[in-house]
Amino acid sequence: MAGPFDRLFGNTPFDLNRDGKIDACETAFINDTFYEDTHGISSGSYDDEDGDVIDELEMAGLDRDDLEFMDEDERRSAIEDAGLDPDDFDDEF
């Protein structure tokens, strides 16, 4: 049974595993590539003020609230341990 994306995107670069059918993962890739959510952002968790910083910290496994309660040395150490440059976040806390 052919799905709606099979007719549109079959035998194209979107058929990532080259099986002639567009499966769920490939459909998600197509949706992320061509369509946006209602906020105009295709993926990720963003805040209006400093979304990039929050997203980068979350991706590194750090919680912004926990970092705010740490003293400066602990915060710098935690950010360094996560593989980020603490100087990039000096004005955030």
Cα(first)–Cα(last) distance of the chain, in Å?
54
- Summarised one tens digit per residue, pLDDT across range 5-63 is 556 655 677 777 778 777 888 888 878 777 765 554 444 444 445 556 557 888 888 88
Q: What is the mean pLDDT of residues 70-84?
A: 91
pTM for the structure as a whole:
0.44
Tokens in use for 63? 């919680």
Three-state secondary structure string covering the chain: CCCHHHHHHCCCCCCCCCCCCCCHHHHHHHHHHHCCCCCCCCCCCCCCCCHHHHHHHHHCCCCHHHHHHCCHHHHHHHHHHCCCCHHHHHHHC
pLDDT band at 93 (very low <50, low <70, confident <90, very high): confident
